[in-house]
Amino acid sequence: MRRMAGKEIRLDMTLIEGHANVLIRVGDDGKVAERVLYQGVDTRFFERLWAGMNIDEMPRVTPMICGVCSATHHVCSALAVDKVRGVEPPETAQNIRAMINLGIHLNNQALHLVVMGLPDFLPASEKRRSVFRLMASRPALAKTGLKIMELGHTVVAVFGGREVHPINAVSGGVARAPSEHEVKELREKFEKLKSDLETFKKEALNLLAESKEKISNYESGTEYMLAVVDSKTGGFTPLEGVAKVIDSKGNVVVEFRPEEYTKVIDEKVFDYTYVKMPVLRSKGYPQGGMRTGPLARVNIVKSYGVEEADELRDKLFEEWGRPATHPLLYHYARVVETIAVYELIQRALDEWDFWSTPLRNYTDSVRGEGVAMIEAPRGTLIHHYRAREDGATEYVNVITPTTFNAVAMENDLTKFFQGKNVAKMSDREIYAHAVAIVRPYDPCMACATHTVAEHQLGKILIVDKNLNVVREVKP
């Protein structure tokens, strides 16, 4: 459907998780003169609902806001509760928690590529772009990707207790260890699927290599990138570390620990969206917006600790520069991380201890406050809790990767659309450009806005300066 009685365009956006609008504001001449906005449309107020809950319940309930990367919420929440309690988990428990997060990283990178990201690279003749069309056009890519996706879920189930909304991480450690039989079966599955991983890598990279023109068509409008790295090595870590922010030249702008995040990050609030807009406090909105996730990590981490992944990343830099900034290179970064995480899990299954006791150190004391910050598949995740002496939670703040990426998505959309006459563009053309920019970020609106609505998917809207809808774009 197309309407031009006003000054905005709306589009139903598929292949994202949850609901969101892209608001493209135009002048009387039909040109995009102002900033393009990314609008979260609903909220559940989870942080307020959790106030008053016993602090030890947080690792169980916080993953419920998302069915996709709930495992990282689970681990991050447990880390924050550890700090509220003032307890250090045993090494065995840390190993098990790390495996939970590694498992969801493997699952989500393959899932996004096959189901949401790579269908965008099918030929223009493909009017419908989905995993089903990818299956028909590139069967080897789709089939192997789905196998790897399921393997990641199996890792989460073995170490987290179940595939979705895991339950094993508790205050001070974990509730149970995996059985030796479960770990043995996992080893066998990882060995069996190595040839599938190789096929997946080659097929994905071939499709991306065929799409260089499409990738180069969309430039970055975002100056900064954010990722958590190992505090000792600067490498990739599935648990806590330090956060680093780099600029578009690769210079480290700021480095901070979890408890220092409020000094560095300012969570802006605007009346057009339910998503908070985190920016660098020193830079403000929108200049201080930060990109996070796989593309940020490949640029920031010193090493993944996996030679093949690091070599693949070096090839990315050779072709696109370092730091690599084009938004569609998120898809390339996910291939790099699929290779890296697969090897890290396989290595851990052979080398790590999951059975030494104790599995948990527990105390009834409450220090009062705890902040945890780790890398989810989509990027940096922060859980911040305060509790009373009786253990009741009195303050909760959760900053998700999609929340961080909201400003970056606006920046990149603005970079592309500003100055263009969208009145002369078809719905299909507008839609194709907008989703090509948004989808690489893999926005998960369920935990960014805590959405509860059932009435709409994402939309791309052409609006006037007062955000009155002029046109709703249909794919």
Q: Which residues are annotated as a binding site for Fe cation?
A: 69, 447
Q: How far apart are CA 122 and CA 119, in angstroms?
A: 6
Cα–Cα distance between 318 and 336 in angstroms, integer? 14
- DSSP for 192-250 reads HTHHHHHHHHHHHHHHHHTTHHHHHTS-----EEEEEE-TTT-S--SS--EEEEE-TTS
| DSSP summary character for residue 419 | T
What helix, strand, coil percent values describe the chain, rounded to 5?
45, 20, 35
d(CA 357, CA 271): 51
Q: 318 burial class (0-12, 13-18, 19+ CB within 10 angstroms)?
A: exposed
Which amino acids are annotated as binding site for Ni(2+), given as ranges? 66, 69, 444
Residue 388 backbone phi and psi in degrees, to 5: -80, 175
Token digits for 38? Answer: 């990314």
Phi then psi for residue 472, to 5 deg, are -110, 120
CA-to-CA distance for 47 and 63, rounded, in angstroms? 13
Comparing CA positions, the residue from 66, 61, 19 lying closest to residue 38 is 19
Burial class (CB within 10 angstroms; exposed 0-12, middle 13-18, buried 19+) of 64: middle
Q: If DSSP codes are grouped into helix, strand and coil, which group holds residue 87? A: coil
Q: How far is CA 298 from the centre of its chain?
A: 14
Which residues are annotated as part of the binding site?
47, 66, 69, 398, 444, 447, 450
* Binding-site annotation: residue ranges for Mg(2+): 47, 398, 450
